[in-house]
Structure 1
Amino acid sequence: MSQTPPRPMIPFWDRIRFLLAKRAGDEAALAAFATPFAALADEVRGKSVALVGNARALADTQQGAQIDAADIVVRLNTAPGRTDASHGARTDWIFTSVRLPQEVLDDLTPARVFWASSKRKRLDYALARRPGFVLTPSALSQDLMGKLGSRPSTGMIATAALCALPFAQIRLHGFDFFSSLSLSGRRAAKDVPHDFDAERDLILQMAQDDPRLQVIKPRD
């Protein structure tokens, strides 16, 4: 009777090194666990990307085919409320600021997971050791905070990160800046630590300045 081979033990000192880097806020040490952000340039050059937000209004659309037509499909956090018709079927990348349950990762099977939050102490060791893991540069979040005057949302960070890479086309789906609330919960805009009016103004300005960036209205 065959037996399941034992799972390999996590190297003790590797985990300790990770925990110490988190506690100390050692960005360079944490980055050593990840694929360098700059190394993604050759991977995405000339490609199209669809970033799918969590606006409730997207669930009432038929944008799924347009989303799946992109070379790379990006989702946010746990990507709730998906249907193929409205949200598309593929998930290539995830930007997250929350710990992702294993069942979510098993469902979405992303090739890359990006830790978006500047709060590195929330980063989980298992996620950092996942193949394809990327640590979104903290300087990007700091720059956004200066522009917005508040903590940027995961969607705002993902938008800025994608614009920093040499994509040929960047489309945002499911971004209505909380006017229809979020599929991820019942909180109102006043209950979250983000300024969605400021994020809307910044993204629209970015789209005006960068012809690659297009905001697809959730009800289009």
Structure 2
Amino acid sequence: MSRLDFTAARLLRNDSRIARMSIPQGNLLADLDGRHVALIGNARSLAETRHGADIDAADLVIRINRAPMPSPISHGSRTDWLALATRLPDADRKRLDPDRILWMSPKRKRLDWQSASGAGFYLHPLADYDALRDRLAAPPTTGAMMIDLLLRAPLASLTLYGFDFFASLSLSGRRSADDVPHDFGAEGAWVEDLLHSDSRLRLRR
């Protein structure tokens, strides 16, 4: 698809046309077969840990949105995949240098050409977003969408770092829980249920 066609499809909200640029979800999940995956959230509390070496030891490291990384001691240094729900400034794109971008937001007008035309680009289906929103009774965070997606894969393990469900707020901004549309209590309870039902999932606090 040309850049002009992409721009037109985005403005016209032609999701099926934009989706032609995406790797199929089944192929994406197959890429995770047998792998140990680290999903890095942006909780401020992660900066107080020494999880960096464990993060970098994972087979695949996935970060979220602008992914602040104040220290390799706490956050590691690798970014293999980047899950986005917001536009990525050029400086952050260069700093993170992900191999693959996953666009998770239902807001397609925020999706930029550079992300959509990159190798291995993935567009998260609106139906999957809607299903998780209904389950949580609130718009899901990018992190929740990634957990939901990744646990569908035949991966060996999924370890969460930097997830405290907004208890310490976010490194990526100064907003409070009242300033965002998510239900962090519902997401925390959902993850606790998953920890009991899926032995592949781990939460590092």
* TM-score interval for Structure 1 and Structure 2 normalised by the shorter chain: over 0.9
Residues 178-211 of structure 1, C-alpha deviations (whole Å, 9 max, x = no match)? 0000001111111111110011011111221111
Identity %: 44
RMSD value over aligned CA atoms?
Answer: 1.3
| Alignment match, 2:182 | 194
Q: CA deviation at 1:129?
A: 0.7
> What amino acid maps onto 2:11 in structure 1?
R
Q: CA deviation at 1:20?
A: 2.7
Counterpart pick for 2:104 among 108, 116, 133: 116
Within 5 Å, give how 1:46-65 maps onto structure 2: 46-65=34-53
| Alignment match, 1:150 | 138
The reply on whether 1:43 has 2:31 as its aligned counterpart is yes
Structure 2 portions without partners, runs of 5+: none
Structure 1 portions without partners, runs of 5+: 1-12
Q: In structure 2, how many angstroms separate the alpha carbons of the residues matched to 1:22 and 1:164?
A: 28
Residues 69-127 of structure 1, C-alpha deviations (whole Å, 9 max, x = no match)? 11000000010143110011111011010111122111111111100101112111221
Provide the secondary structure at the position in 1 that maps to 2:122: strand
Within 5 Å, give how 1:1-220 maps onto structure 2: 14-217=2-205
Q: Moved runs in structure 1, 4+ residues, more than 3 A?
A: none
Alignment: residue pair count: 205
Q: In structure 1, how many angstroms separate the alpha carbons of the residues matched to 2:80 and 2:114?
A: 19
> What amino acid maps onto 1:30 in structure 2?
I
Q: In structure 1, how many angstroms separate the alpha carbons of the residues matched to 2:33 and 2:88?
A: 28
TM-score, normalized by length of structure 2?
0.95
TM-score, normalized by length of structure 1?
0.89
